[in-house]
Amino acid sequence: MGEENKSSNVVWHHATVTRGRREALNNHRSVILWFTGLSGSGKSTLAHAVEERLYKKGCRTFVFDGDNVRHGLCADLGFSNEDRVENIRRVGEMAKLFLEAGVIALTAFISPFRADRARVRSLVPHGEFMEIYCRCPLEVCEKRDVKGLYKRARQGDIKIFTGISSPYQEPEDAELVVETDALTLDESIDEVLALLRERGVISPDV
């Protein structure tokens, strides 16, 4: 599950249709928007809502949702610390490919460890990974308990659960912190889009 390339007889092929040409066709830059936070903090809801707003403005987007990815790409992984590291590594590499495709890639993962998020950031040029911390108090997330996971964790049915029996390491230098317990969904979307405009990812009229 490491990052060592075990294939020695491979050569990178440079495409004639470049990322720059794809971005020009799309009329926006590509970027990775990495939504992180506790279960129930609103990561997936916000990521999909931002995508909906961007889509309606003609942007090329794709959301990598934590649960959806574990139905396919990462179906062989559990929730041990080692498997969580590998889960994020795979998603980071996939998001990097979408970056090259000229797409705004949105990911919604708890991704509890700073080192894992930093590793994904290091895969791409400076400024092309934007960490968006959906900050929400544990007690609020637990009250929401949309999937009933906190209850199961408190009962001991889930042995390793972020915020209960496993730590969540808060971002120290996130590009954006969204207080999802205090803002409406529309207000949260507006904050993300403002960041994208400020960084020149999308035009001011989007």
Per-residue 3-state assignment (H helix, E strand, C coil) for the chain: CCCCCCCCCCCCCCCCCCHHHHHHHHCCCCEEEEEECCCCCCHHHHHHHHHHHHHHCCCCEEEEEHHHHCCCCCCCCCCCHHHHHHHHHHHHHHHHHHHHCCCEEEEECCCCCHHHHHHHHHCCCCCCEEEEEEECCHHHHHHHCCCCHHHHHHCCCCCCCECCCECCCCCCCCCEEEECCCCCHHHHHHHHHHHHHHCCCCCCCC
Inter-axis angle of helices 81-100 and 19-26, nearest 10? 70
Delineate the domains of the chain, giving CATH numbers in brackets: 19-198 (3.40.50.300)
* Spatial contact of 77 and 65, defined as CB atoms under 8 Å apart: no
- Rounded Cα distance, 34 and 177, in Å: 11
pLDDT of 5: 58
Per-residue pLDDT of the chain (206 residues; tens, 9 = 90+): 445 556 666 665 677 888 899 999 899 999 999 999 999 999 999 999 999 999 999 999 999 987 787 878 788 888 888 888 898 999 999 999 999 999 999 999 999 999 999 999 999 999 999 999 999 999 999 999 888 999 999 999 998 899 999 999 999 999 999 999 999 999 999 999 999 999 999 999 88
pLDDT of 7: 62
pLDDT of 81: 81
- Rounded Cα distance, 101 and 122, in Å: 18
pLDDT of 1: 44
Active site residue 80: no
For residue 25 the two structure tokens come to 């066709």
> Looking at the DSSP assignment, which residues form a beta bridge with residue 130?
33
For residue 42 the two structure tokens come to 């609103």
Cα radius of gyration rounded to whole Å, the chain: 17
pLDDT of 2: 47
Any idea how long the chain is? 206
- The one catalytic residue among 30, 44, 111, 166: 111
For residue 35 the two structure tokens come to 């939504």
